[in-house]
Amino acid sequence: MAKALPRCNNVLKIIKDNMDSLVGQPVTIKANRGRKKVLEVEGIVEQTYPKVFVVKLQEDNLATRLSYTYTDILTKTVEISVNGKNVGQQLLKANA
C-alpha cells in the first residue's frame, strides 16, 4: 500500500507542471458544485501555487478569481479545457 502514495504524488506533480505551462492562457472551467449544480466559466490561469491554482474570470457577474486544487482535476470535480480539448482527461489517460 505504501507504493501507491508516490504514484499519486507523481500524478499531482504532473498536473501541477501542466498547469504551470497554462499560466496566462485562456481556459474554460467546468466545476461540479454539488447537488446537480455545475459552474461553467471562461477565465485565464493567473497563478499556480504548490497545492492550488488561481483562475481569473472574464465574466463580470461572478467573483473575479477562483482557486482549485490539483486534486480537483484528478478527481474530476473540475474539468479544464483549452481550445475545446480537456486537459485533465489527457493527463489521466497518459498516466493510467
63: CB partners within 8 A, 6+ apart: 57
Tell me if 15 sits within 8 A of 88, measured CB to CB: yes
What is the model's pLDDT at position 38?
92
pLDDT digits (tens, 9 = 90+) for 24-43: 999 999 999 888 899 998 99
**Domain range list for the chain:** 4-94
Residue 14 has pLDDT above 70, yes or no: yes
Tell me if 72 sits within 8 A of 78, measured CB to CB: yes
**CATH number for region 4-94:** 2.30.30.100
Residue 92 has pLDDT above 70, yes or no: no
* Average pLDDT of the segment spanning 61-80: 87
* Average pLDDT of the segment spanning 31-56: 92
